[in-house]
């Protein structure tokens, strides 16, 4: 089962690019072989094909959702209207992209890691201290989720009439 981890955001606007910074940090770790990380930047319909080719999708994006700055929220929204408010032009583009994905029959599991940022932050080309910390929290959470999914996928069940045995192979 192929998993796409898609980081969104504009790195020219500091914490607004937190999805991209987070997916880049994830790429520095050993990931299961069926995981693809993609820097989606500010989105757009060019991301439709990678979404369609994945069995499972993990999105990472900045949000202005009213939570304290640095909050990392994992949700499984079903429709674009279920997504928290984001901050830039990719807000419209991403929601349009998701609507198109669903209209074309996309039924894959989508998990969103929304990271709350300060919408009034100064413009910079790096993460703030809070953004950096929140990105690392998201990295560790996503790694744990990917590894748990990989262990479940690699679990095999062997059964005979006389006994039931479950064997599992775990790769870290």
Output the six-digit token pair for 154: 């690699």
Show me where the domains of the chain are located. 3-168
For residues 61 and 115, the answer to whether their CB atoms sit within 8 Å is: yes
What residues in the chain have per-residue pLDDT under 70? 79-80, 85-94, 150-172
pLDDT for res 172: 31
> What is the Cα–Cα distance from 105 to 133, expressed in whole angstroms?
37
Query: What span, in angstroms and rounded, lies between the C-alpha atoms of 100 and 95?
Result: 9
Please report the pLDDT score of residue 85 as a whole number. Answer: 66
Environment class of 156 (CB within 10 Å of its CB; exposed 0-12, middle 13-18, buried 19+): exposed
List, for residues 81-119, the tens digit of each pLDDT value: 777 765 554 555 567 777 777 778 777 788 999 999 998
* Alpha-carbon torsion, ordered 81, 17, 3, 73, to 10 deg: -60
Among 3.40.50.1450, 3.30.565.10, 3.40.50.720, 3.40.50.11720, name the CATH number for the domain at 3-168.
Answer: 3.40.50.1450
Nearest-angstrom CA–CA distance, 85 and 54: 24
DSSP 61: E
Q: Is 139 helix (H, G, I), strand (E, B) or coil?
A: helix
| Separation between Cα atoms, residue 75 and residue 88, nearest integer Å | 20
- What is the pLDDT at residue 168? 33
Position 101 scores a pLDDT of: 79
pLDDT of residue 70: 94
- Report which of 38, 41, 34, 50 is spatially closest to residue 17, judged by C-alpha positions: 41
Question: What's the rounded Cα separation, in Å, for the pair 95 and 80?
Answer: 5
Cα–Cα distance measured from residue 113 to residue 154, given in angstroms and rounded to the nearest whole number: 25
Given this model, what pLDDT does residue 93 score? 59
């Amino acid at each position: 089962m192929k998993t796409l981890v898609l980081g969104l955001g504009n790195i020219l606007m500091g914490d607004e690019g937190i999805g991209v910074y987070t997916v880049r940090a994830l790429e520095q770790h050993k990931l299961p072989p069926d995981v693809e990380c993609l820097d989606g930047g500010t989105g757009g319909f060019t991301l439709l094909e990678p979404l369609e080719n994945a069995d499972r999708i993990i999105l990472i994006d900045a949000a202005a959702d009213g939570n304290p700055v640095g909050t990392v929220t994992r949700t499984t929204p079903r429709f674009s209207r279920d997504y928290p408010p984001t901050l830039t032009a990719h807000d419209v583009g991403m929601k349009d992209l998701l609507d198109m994905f669903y209209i074309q029959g996309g039924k894959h599991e989508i998990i969103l890691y929304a990271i709350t940022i300060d919408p009034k932050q100064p413009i910079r080309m790096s993460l703030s201290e809070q953004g950096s910390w929140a990105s690392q929290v998201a990295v560790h959470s996503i790694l744990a989720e990917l590894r748990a999914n990989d262990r479940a996928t690699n679990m095999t069940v062997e059964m005979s009439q006389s006994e039931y045995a479950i064997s599992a192979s775990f790769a870290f």
